[in-house]
Amino acid sequence: MKYNLIIVDDHKMFLDGMLSILNLESEYNILLTATKGEQIVKYLEINPDERVDLIITDISMPELDGIALNKIVKEKKKNIRTLIVSMHNNAEMIDNLIEHDADGYVPKNAEKNEFLVAIKTILKGEKYFSKEIKDIYIENKFSKKKQEEIKLTQREIDVITLIAQEYTTQEIADKLFLSKHTIESYRKNLIAKLNVRNLAGLTKYALKMSYIKNE
């Protein structure tokens, strides 16, 4: 049985490179190559009965990117598998793709053999994520979990918010009706608890947690 593949990438040279690799493999039939995600969505709408086994897509493309394309494909045609081949290794992108059931992800600088192994693995019904991508995903999950485990008291939130708003130690003490010494203790404890190095680190954390808004 031949597998029907679709390839989408806005870099013509990379598209041609993938084609030359896949054309040497007798079990693959290239249904379509495209440079835009919208072309794929349109093709699937016009050919609802066409069997598509795998879509290989880049992430960065004009208008509809690979992340959005993967989401649309998975919502409309659950049986179509998706393989992301991209230069990007951004943790949030990887997270989003895994969350929306992408079947695989290999970097664009992967060896030809890994690319072929990824395709074979996915067509067998399994997932394939290269080691580099898995490591980024796990590291991101681990650091998110660590952040979730840090719980600040309301008083600590008050102090860090005022620090981020550039109030002096004395001004914070006056505002919160505490002694200057107590505010200094809070500041030291917060630096240790959040594992940052200085007041700039505390400010960054306050912005990240939306205790203050970044104007």
Predicted confidence pLDDT, tens digits, the chain (215 residues): 899 999 999 999 999 999 999 999 999 999 999 999 999 999 999 999 999 999 999 999 988 999 999 999 999 998 999 999 998 888 889 999 999 999 999 999 999 999 999 999 999 999 999 999 999 988 888 877 777 678 889 999 999 999 999 999 999 999 999 999 999 999 999 998 888 899 998 998 888 888 886 55
The pLDDT, as a whole number, for residue 208 is 83
pLDDT of residue 145: 74
pLDDT at 214: 58
Q: Determine the angle formed by the axes of helices 154-164 and 180-193, rounding to 10 degrees.
A: 90
What are the backbone dihedrals phi and psi of residue 31, each rounded to the nearest 5 degrees, phi first? -70, -40
The answer to pTM > 0.85 is no
Residue type, 177: F
The amino acid present at 146, given as its one-letter code, is K
Q: Contact at 8 Å (CB) between 57 and 66? A: yes
pLDDT at 27: 95
| Structural domains of the chain, ranges and CATH numbers in brackets | 3-143 (3.40.50.2300), 150-208 (1.10.10.10)
Contact 81, 57 (CB under 8 A): no
User: Phi/psi class of residue 121: alpha, beta or left (left: φ > 0; alpha: ψ in -120 to 50)?
Assistant: alpha
